[in-house]
Structure 1
Amino acid sequence: MFGANPALVLNADFQPLSYFPLSLFNWEDAVRAVVKGSHVVVAEYDRVVRSPTTVMRLPSVIALREYVRPPARVAFTRFNVFLRDRFRCQYCGEQFVRGELTFDHVIPRADGGQTCWGNIVAACSPCNTRKDRFRMKPLRAPYDPVQHDLLAAQRLFPPNFMHETWLDFLYWDSELEH
């Protein structure tokens, strides 16, 4: 019934906890968090839910009451490598969906290459197969991203659904209308 009414979850500074995937609660969890007191309602849908003693509009945007500090270090994961490289093969430059990319060692492990930020790039299967034979170099050298790098990359991939009340909180750095 209310499956299409997710709530955008913001940190106490009114920034999304995550852009990709976008930090969302289903309507039940959003109502539960507000009633429990851990979150406050920032914006609402027109729909209401009722209990025997209460009528409440469904929250469309909620914020944590207490600030949660983002991690200081970016986790080294396959997904974060793809996100850092913006889901582009670092050899041919084509953009792919997540399942079509591979994890590539720029310096092969057989030659002493490490599995770390500075030696891993996203690559499509054809480029990964032929890169050694044709001595292909990545278009962009691999690097250790900071949290800001991944947040910037996450903003490039908007969610499939965005309620109008979310727009004020998602893209603060986008150009304003004239």
Structure 2
Amino acid sequence: MRLPSVIVLKEFVLQSRRPAFTRFNVFLRDRFSCQYCGKKFPTQDLTFDHLVPRSRGGTTNWKNVVTACSRCNLRKGNHLPESVKMYPKNKPRVPSNYELQENGRAFPPNHLHESWRDFLYWDSELEEGD
């Protein structure tokens, strides 16, 4: 079955007020930086860490999860930040859709299909029209 590589919406679709809680959106909120050591990493080298570990009653949500590199995640392990003196650079919070979109512009994907490039304006100058 043949499918188009690009589609166009004919009507506006209102976004939900809260962004979806996904691993990628956590990385995007934290700008692909480990919240403990502050270094930037490619997506495949990142994990997410529960500030309050699940084994200690922590939940998996925006306010208890931060981006961490593997090294820092292993170092923190099953401990509370206070007990190992590892505090996140930024307090975890629910981001806005706008914030995620803005962060996404700073980190354009490098795996786009060639046919999409004319439709996604990452940092290109736009032509003025009538």
The interval holding the TM-score normalised by the smaller chain is: 0.7 to 0.9
Q: 1:71 aligns with which of 13, 16, 19?
A: 16
CA–CA distance in structure 1, aligned partners of residues 58 and 109 of structure 2: 36
Per the alignment, residue 29 of structure 1 pairs with 4
Contact 2:108–2:122 under 8 Å retained in 1: no
**Structure 2 unpaired stretches of 5+:** 125-130
**Structure 1 unpaired stretches of 5+:** 1-27, 34-38, 40-63, 173-178
Aligned length: 113
TM-score (norm 1): 0.55
Q: Deviations over 1:89-127 (max 9, x none)?
A: 000011111111111001112222211110000101111
Matches within 5 A, 1:7-18: none
TM-score (norm 2): 0.73
**More contact order relative to length (CA 8 Å, sep ≥ 6):** 2
Point out the structure with the larger strand share.
Answer: 1
Name the Cα RMSD after superposition: 2.5
Contact 2:50–2:65 under 8 Å retained in 1: yes
Per the alignment, residue 57 of structure 2 pairs with 112
CA–CA distance in structure 1, aligned partners of residues 72 and 5 of structure 2: 44
Deviation (angstroms), 1:158: 2.1
Q: Deviations over 1:61-102 (max 9, x none)?
A: xxx321121222211111111111111100001111111111
Whether 2:38 is the aligned partner of 1:93: answer yes
Identical amino acids, percent of aligned pairs: 49
